[in-house]
Amino acid sequence: MLGDKKIVFSGVQPSGNLTIGNYLGAIKNFSAFSDEYHCFYCVVDLHAITLRQVPAELRRRTYETLALYIACGLDPEKNTLFVQSHVPAHAELGWILDCYTMFGELSRMTQFKDKSAKNASNINAGLFTYPSLMAADILLYQTDLVPVGIDQKQHLELTRDVATRFNGIYGDVFTMPDGYIPQTGMKIMSLADPTSKMSKSDPNENAIVYILDDKDTVLRKFRRAVTDSETEVCRREGKDGINNLMTIYSCFTGKTDEEIVREFAGRGYGDFKLAVGEACADQLAPVREEFARLMADKAYLEDIMKKGAAEAASCALKTMRKVRKKIGFVN
């Protein structure tokens, strides 16, 4: 039972090893909503197949993403954790919303343009209509709040446009969702190219810090992080590498820019990079340990999947009954 609590929904793709960008920009913040909201957190495997996946790897990563949710602090007793494809209503509502989303709206999505450029041999229809499925994910649960990375803000705006259009035709069907973008960590940049977002698909291993990297690997990657030819640790335009490291350090320690500047006054970049790496590795260590424990207990993870899918499907069914009736489907 959802009771009087408002709804939070978010999802993470099981399409690669998750990075500290996924952790700081999304998963770490999810647990903050657990007491005040009813939270649905999904492993969005339907979204993952817009790119070709190796089936065995997709299955493994689905387990891993669920385990990471829990290892990062999401209590299955307080949150509904589930796999997207286990609730068929996502695909059904996704198709319905395809029919209420304009071609021009989808063609303006910057992520479609970016992903098409990177995957010129596989520009499929799913890649184009991805935002309609994302809208379905959100609207299916009458979501009030969506913790979202800044790169997904355009998709959330489209979700609101589609909900407004549908409600305008059929009455009050969907709740209008608001986005939540954390001020710190909303966009973690590459360590090798700090003008670009940290991406789990980056071919340069030194550009990415994964949640499951061991301490030595984390420290090595931060030591190699691209900075600039100066020595002062401070945030200003043109110091993209240092700005990014300050954001990461602030996220892991809670320190403000002013505190960071004072801490490293006169100490240089070497000390700063080591401190960022230490702070990152220390906070991720218990996550890695809990992840290993969970991955050794597949039966437990499958039990969470089943319970979560049942809870999600029950909530989704209420929305789908209303949608089917409004558009004229025979129940």
pLDDT by residue (tens digit) across 138-169? 999 999 999 877 677 888 999 999 999 999 99
In whole angstroms, give the CA distance from residue 259 to residue 279. 15
Is 326 known to be catalytic?
no
Q: If we measure between CA atoms, which residue out of 182, 193, 211 comes closest to residue 284?
A: 211
Is 200 known to be catalytic?
yes
Q: What is the mean pLDDT of residues 231-252?
A: 93
pLDDT for 1 = 44
Q: Give me the catalytic one of 115, 221, 239, 273.
A: 115
Q: What is the mean pLDDT of residues 310-317?
A: 98
Domains of the chain: 6-180+298-327 (3.40.50.620), 205-292 (1.10.240.10)
CA torsion sign for 158, 161, 167, 170 is negative
Q: If we measure between CA atoms, which residue out of 32, 55, 41, 54 comes closest to residue 13?
A: 41
Q: If we measure between CA atoms, which residue out of 73, 133, 57, 148 comes closest to residue 98?
A: 133
Q: Give me the catalytic one of 78, 153, 187, 197.
A: 197
- pLDDT at 102 exceeding the cut of 50: yes
Question: At 2, is the pLDDT very low, low, confident or very high (cuts 50, 70, 90)?
Answer: low
- pLDDT at 184 exceeding the cut of 60: no
- pLDDT at 254 exceeding the cut of 70: yes
pTM, two decimal places: 0.88
Instruction: Considering only residues 149 and 44, tell me which one the structure prediction assigns the higher pLDDT.
Output: 44
pLDDT for 181 = 77
Question: At 202, is the pLDDT very low, low, confident or very high (cuts 50, 70, 90)?
Answer: confident
pLDDT for 199 = 86
Q: Give me the catalytic one of 6, 78, 200, 215.
A: 200
Is 318 known to be catalytic?
no
Task: Write the single-letter amino acid at 322.
Answer: K
Compute the mean pLDDT over every residue in the chain, rounded to the nearest whole number: 91
User: Where is average pLDDT lowest: 126-135, 169-178, 294-303?
Assistant: 126-135
